[in-house]
Amino acid sequence: MRRLSLFLLVVMIGVGCATKEEQARTDIQGTWKIDLVTENGQDVTAAYMSTRVNYRITFDGDNGFIEIYQQFVGGDDVIINGSWDFSDKATQLILTDNNQSRVFSIDKLDDDELNLTDQGSNDNRKLQLIPS
């Protein structure tokens, strides 16, 4: 009986871990826009968005992403395609395109909020995204 209880406990823990990542994969899918950007605790949204006008990022279910924005008002679209994945039990988001890989800590992810910390930033940049 003890062995069965231990086995069931291990299975339940394993299923719970898989479910968290599966839920994260579901929650991230869709198109997101930036709502707030902070650096060292200061709101820098306006400055950040001045070079990322109409910024949108879309995550699909096949681990692909597309970012679209203009570098200035009225500018041509900048389009970046790549792949995304989670690491460290869905606590990190990795975006990889032809030029680079970017790593973000996931501070919060659900179906209506995606909060990230840019691990490549020297100024503790945090991004809050909402569904577009």
Look at phi and psi of residue 124 and say left if phi exceeds 0, alpha if psi is from -120 to 50, else beta: left
Domain spans in the chain, listed from the N-terminal domain onward: 2-131
Q: Per CATH, is 2-131 categorized as 1.10.10.200?
A: no
Predicted pLDDT at 19? 78
CB atoms within 10 A of CB 31: 14
Predicted pLDDT at 13? 54
- pLDDT at residue 81 greater than cutoff 90: yes
Q: pLDDT tens digits, residue range 59-74?
A: 999 999 999 999 999 9
Predicted pLDDT at 99? 81
- pLDDT at residue 52 greater than cutoff 80: yes
- pLDDT at residue 4 greater than cutoff 70: no
pTM recorded for the entire structure: 0.84
Residue 13 dihedral angles phi and psi, to the nearest 5°: -65, -45
Percent of the chain surpassing pLDDT 70: 86
The residue among 117 and 17 whose pLDDT is bigger is 117
102's tokens:
């970017």
Beta strands in the chain (DSSP E): 30-39, 42-43, 53-59, 64-70, 77-87, 92-97, 101-110, 113-118, 126-131
- pLDDT at residue 122 greater than cutoff 70: yes
